[in-house]
Amino acid sequence: MFKYLFSTNHKVIALQYLFTGIFWLAFGGILVLLIRWQLAYPWQPIPLIGKFLFPESGGAVTPEAYPMLFTMHGGIMVFFAITPILLGALGNYTIPLEVGARDMAFPRLNMLSYWLLFLGSILMIVSFFVPGGAAGSGWTIYAPLSSSTEVSPGLGQDLFILGLALDAVSILMGGINYITTIIQLRAPGLTLRRLPLTQWGLFFSAILNTLWLPIVAAALFMVLCDRRLGTAFFVAGPLAPREGGQVLLYQHLFWGFGHPEVYILIFPVWGLVGDLLSVFSRKPAFGYKATVLSMLTITILSGIVWGHHMFTSGMNPLVGKAFVFLTISISVPTAIFFFNWLATLRRGSIRLTVPMLFALGVVFVFAVGGLTGLFLALRTFDVYVHGTYFVVGHFHYTLAASVLFGAFAFIYFWFPKMFGRQMNERMGRWHFGLSFVSLNMVFSVMMFVGLHGHMRRIADATAYEFLKPIQPLNVFLGWAVLGMVASQLLFFYNFFRSLRGGTPAPANPWEAGSLVWTVSSPPPWHNYETPPVVTCGPHEYSVPRLKGKDWLAQTDVRAATLGKS
Amino acid sequence: MLTSWFPPDVSTTGFWVDRLFFIALSLTGAAFLLVAGILVWCLLRYRERPGHQASYTHGDSPLARWLTIGFAVFIFFAIDLNLAFHDHKAWGRTWGSPPDPKEALRIQIMPEQFAWNIRYAGPDGVFRTADDVTTLNQLYVPVHRPVIVQLSSKDVIHSFFLPNLRIKMDAVPGLVTSLYFQATKPGTYDIACAEHCGFGHYRMRGLLTVEPEEEFETWLKAQAKEGPPDLSWGWDWNV
Amino acid sequence: MERAAIQSIETPAGIPTGKLGMWVFLVSEIMFFTGLIGSYIVLRLGSAGWPRPGETLNTGLLAVNTLVLITSSLTMVLALNAAQQGRQVSLRRFLLVTALLGLTFLGIKGYDYAHMWHRGFTIASSLFGSCYYLLTGFHALHVFSGVIVILVLFKASASPALSQMTVGRVEYSGLYWHFIDIVWVILFAILCLV
């Protein structure tokens, strides 16, 4: 058993990440239900589980508990659900297989990286039970709310930071493996031009992580010092123990990481969508080079736009102007993604499998999410909606919708390969349909609510006169979110049931061209007996003059004679 | 029942914020409809069916490259520069046109967990003197007169938000930030905190009362009679 | 020895896999210290009265420490040289000296800390103190990790045949060691000299 628990095999580690991430996804989803109940029916006891969770208040959320709910929801979803699923699982499982390697470059480091995440998870769980309860300063951990024990005395905040720190080290270790493996361990013939887009996305993600995670790590250690060692890096004014530091410095450090982080989360999805649209349109990914160049451009740009999170902090107007211009320029490479996606679909032969549905769903919801980002880039407008549900709606469209759909696309697509079984297709379609409808209902209404000035992170909107007219929308959102979360039960049921009971899967159920689909489902322990020899790219579909089937696997020897690169 | 996108605007500059929104909505809305339209059209027109063959192209022909570049340039000018220009214009009309400090009504606000401490300079025009007027959560301003507010927090970061005037500014401990506005319609409006500041963040509501000039002066004098001001906070007005 | 095979092959990037991995790691370390040092610069520039380093810090002692660390980098280079030439005894000697110099650095640092703490210059006594202990403290942790790595190498190099892998490891650990040396030189400059 120990052999499996502490296995250095990348596939085992990937599955460990996957199951951990799925657990936290469910947990974070339950937190959402509590949040939206409170917003819909402020201070009313929660049905069924209220008395168990909040005994002292008769089952209702308390003002002290509410910040813990949204803080843990955000922190858990970003660092313990999405990152393990889309970086940990997708990266670990697919990279060695898709580059034609037997494992990652540093398997023992890989194993360590998972167990650090596991330790971080333990700390997060423990943080709910310590005196003072869980962290309550928002997932953004703004100082001085987070850094002063006078206002946030509980141990929960410290454990949250330590849990994140462990996760950060875990991700950095993973990054070392991803970057090195993609550069060094590619099979003969697998030029960078023949790398699937998913791995390009993971590659740029890892680069961004390597550069920017350490910055937020530095900031978080400084917060810990402020809390427990009597320093005042991020405390100033009357709350500071003596001559204080600079409060805004925290925000610069945090968002210096925080903005690249959103691209870290979405790059694998963009890559995956590029590959999936190609497979299921039976057509090469349009503009492969442009897509990769766009990823590179965004990688660079993402590091110099962080100020758009701080437009209301009193910055020098000239600096603000620069941030507006740089932020808005990211729309150019992003637009190229859409151009290429739509051009891939056009003149294709589209198969609406469940992974394809989710990939198409990403295109749709990311169009909304990305475009609403443009509003926020305009500082004059941003000043009005900063700190309101407009922002929450925007980042949920890009995260909870796009990234989540990407995660589902990943799981539905790779499930047969990972477990040797197929998931139930019909249930998958229902899952997609219900999720798509409910997600759009929830987050579009949420943005509308934000336009009206509804602030975020408040436990009760009825405390304000100007928000009373839109309280009915909060009630609507409560039920819509319940529907959205309930729809996910279809996924969980399908996933766990198919692990044992799904129909056995062939090596290549999707007729996909990349390397991994040339081996069995699940793959052999060491992936490839001898390194495969790659002759063409991963998107050789509908190749003309091909007899028998309409596509070439990456190892197909006919590629040379058919003149495809 | 909600009849509009935004709460009523009672400021001289809010118009520019709302206008910027609708310009952005038109442009992004058009882009979205285009993308969604093409998406749906492709799904219908190019769905897999007998006799239908996908076309084999990598999209790296010279034509495709020029189209891509052209498209990128188009996006940059039609959307990016366009919106940036409109934002620049809106900024100039709002935050870029501060009133003369000598003519404006000057107010200091120090938010704390969980209330707004408000200070008027009083007849001598100097802050932190015995003739100051301080209130808790009550911000009175005369209509049609520019108001400059300086902010500094007593503890954690708060954010002073006037939804009906479309403005907001963070109050940060250790430094002084400022905003200004001019109200156009008498009435009472909400002051909200827009930065998470602790468990009482949700109830950090203040009241902005806009009155005709004389009623404002009457109110101010009446406050002075209420008792000595709180001199434990306040700062030298800078600029 | 599959692991060795993987980690020492030269492929597209033109450098061995292990070296590339170490460089990726070093990039993240560089960014970590950039965050800390950048914060120090911002805090110092934004602060009204910053104490003169000469008055508070024991610059002489820290200069000695700088010399100790630079010397240890030299011995690390000599260790690598010995490894590449297959001179096992010299390798082990130089590794040991490097580790000892590292421990000396830590010892002097510990004495320096205790001395200043006793005099009232603590992590919580001033912003300068907070910055000083934060920066040098994290650096010391890295030196400590480096010493552990070198001692592990020392043990690994005892095997009769100096494997290709050990030579590689000496090189990569050397990279790490030189990195923390450079960080110290920078810290010494910005904390004590400026």
Task: Please indicate if any CB of chain A lies within 8 Å of the CB of C11.
Answer: yes
Is 90 exceeded by the pLDDT of residue C129? yes
What pLDDT is attached to residue B239? 61
Task: Please indicate if any CB of chain B lies within 8 Å of the CB of A361.
Answer: no
Residue B69 distance to chain A (closest CA, Å): 9
DSSP character at residue A308: G
Q: Label residues B144-181 b or e (16+ Cβ within 10 Å = b).
A: eebbbbbbbbbbbbbbbbbbbbbbbbbbbbbbbbbbbb
Strand partners, B111: B116
Is 80 exceeded by the pLDDT of residue A336? yes
Closest by alpha carbon to A161, among A178, A177, A145?
Answer: A145
Task: Please indicate if any CB of chain B lies within 8 Å of the CB of A248.
Answer: yes
Chains with ≥3 CB–CB distances under 8 Å to C: A
CA nearest to A378 within chain B: B87
Q: What is the mean pLDDT of the segment spanning A148-162?
A: 95
What pLDDT is attached to residue B4? 80
CB A231 to CB C123 under 8 A? yes
The pLDDT tens digits of the residues spanning C23-80 come to: 999 999 999 999 999 999 999 999 888 888 778 888 999 999 999 999 999 999 999 9
B43: nearest CB among A237, A283, A350: A350
Instruction: Catalogue the E-assigned strands of A249-331.
Output: none
Percent of chain C at pLDDT > 70 equals 93
What pLDDT is attached to residue A3? 75
CA distance C79 to C70: 14
Q: Which of A52-61, A70-79, A286-295 has the lowest mean pLDDT?
A: A52-61
At residue A275 the predicted structure's pLDDT band, cuts being 50, 70 and 90, is: very high
Is 80 exceeded by the pLDDT of residue C3? no
CB C27 to CB A210 under 8 A? yes
Q: What is the mean pLDDT of chain A?
A: 95
CA nearest to A191 within chain C: C12
CB B161 to CB A138 under 8 A? no
What pLDDT is attached to residue A4? 83
Q: Which two tokens stand for residue A452?
A: 């009206």
Q: Residue B229: enclosing H or E segment and its boundaries?
A: none
What pLDDT is attached to residue C2? 47
- Cβ atoms of A10 and A92 closer than 8 Å: yes
Backbone angles phi, psi at B189, to 5 degrees: -135, 160
A230: nearest CB among C3, C20, C124: C124
A175: nearest CB among C13, C24, C42: C24
A340: nearest CB among B53, B59, B166: B59
CA distance A36 to A485: 11
CA distance C128 to C49: 10
Q: Which residues of chain B have pLDDT under 70?
A: 1-3, 239
Question: Which residue, chain included where needed, has tokens 């509410």?
Answer: A66
Is 70 exceeded by the pLDDT of residue C10? no
Task: Please indicate if any CB of chain B lies within 8 Å of the CB of A291.
Answer: no
Query: In terms of pTM, does the model score above 0.90?
Result: yes
The pLDDT tens digits of the residues spanning A417-456 come to: 999 999 999 999 999 999 999 999 999 999 999 999 999 9
Task: Please indicate if any CB of chain A lies within 8 Å of the CB of C123.
Answer: yes
Residue A264 distance to chain C (closest CA, Å): 15
A286: nearest CB among B59, B113, B155: B59
CA nearest to B3 within chain A: A469
At residue A550 the predicted structure's pLDDT band, cuts being 50, 70 and 90, is: confident
Closest by alpha carbon to B221, among B149, B145, B123?
Answer: B123
At residue A563 the predicted structure's pLDDT band, cuts being 50, 70 and 90, is: low
Residue B138 distance to chain A (closest CA, Å): 15
Q: What is the mean pLDDT of the segment spanning A168-185?
A: 97
The pLDDT tens digits of the residues spanning A112-140 come to: 999 999 999 999 999 999 999 999 999 99
The pLDDT tens digits of the residues spanning A18-46 come to: 999 999 999 999 999 999 999 999 999 99
| Residues on chain A touching C139 (C-beta within 8 angstroms) | none
Is 50 exceeded by the pLDDT of residue A259? yes
| Largest Cα span, chain C | 61
Window 30-69 of A: residues touching B by CB (8 A cutoff) are 63-64, 66-67
CA nearest to C16 within chain A: A184
At residue C8 the predicted structure's pLDDT band, cuts being 50, 70 and 90, is: very low
Task: Please indicate if any CB of chain B lies within 8 Å of the CB of A294.
Answer: no
Collect all residues from A whose CB is shorter than 8 A from any CB in C: 102, 105-107, 172, 175-177, 179-180, 183-186, 210-219, 221-222, 225, 229-233, 241-246, 249, 253, 256
Task: Please indicate if any CB of chain B lies within 8 Å of the CB of A386.
Answer: yes
C127: nearest CB among A172, A184, A232: A232
CA distance B10 to B180: 14
Q: Which residue of A64, A455, A457 to mutate against B (max B Cβ within 10 Å)? A: A455
Q: Which residue of C31, C139, C175 to mutate against A (max A Cβ within 10 Å)? A: C31
What pLDDT is attached to residue B213? 95
Backbone angles phi, psi at A293, to 5 degrees: -65, -35
What pLDDT is attached to residue B227? 79
CB B199 to CB A386 under 8 A? no
Is 50 exceeded by the pLDDT of residue A514? yes
Is 50 exceeded by the pLDDT of residue C125? yes
Is 70 exceeded by the pLDDT of residue A564? no
- Please count the residue pairs, one from chain A and one from chain C, whose beta carbons lie less than 8 angstroms apart: 110
Instruction: Please provide the DSSP assignment of chain C as one string.
Output: -HHHHHHH-B-TTSSBHHHHHHHHHHHHHHHHHHHHHHHHHHHHHT-S-PPPHHHHS-HHHHHHHHHHHHHHHHHHHHHHHHHHTT-HHHHHHHHHHHHHHHHHHHHHHHHHHHHHHHTT--TTT-HHHHHHHHHHHHHHHHHHHHHHHHHHHHHHTTSSS--HHHHHHHHHHHHHHHHHHHHHHHHHIIIII-
| Residues on chain C touching A213 (C-beta within 8 angstroms) | 28, 31
The pLDDT tens digits of the residues spanning A361-413 come to: 999 999 999 999 999 999 999 999 999 999 999 999 999 999 999 999 999 99
Q: Which residue of A112, A195, A212, A231 to mutate against C (max C Cβ within 10 Å)? A: A231
The pLDDT tens digits of the residues spanning A196-248 come to: 999 999 999 999 999 999 999 999 999 999 999 999 999 999 888 887 899 99
Residue B239 distance to chain A (closest CA, Å): 15
Q: Which of A549-553, B184-188, B209-213, C120-124 has the lowest mean pLDDT?
A: A549-553
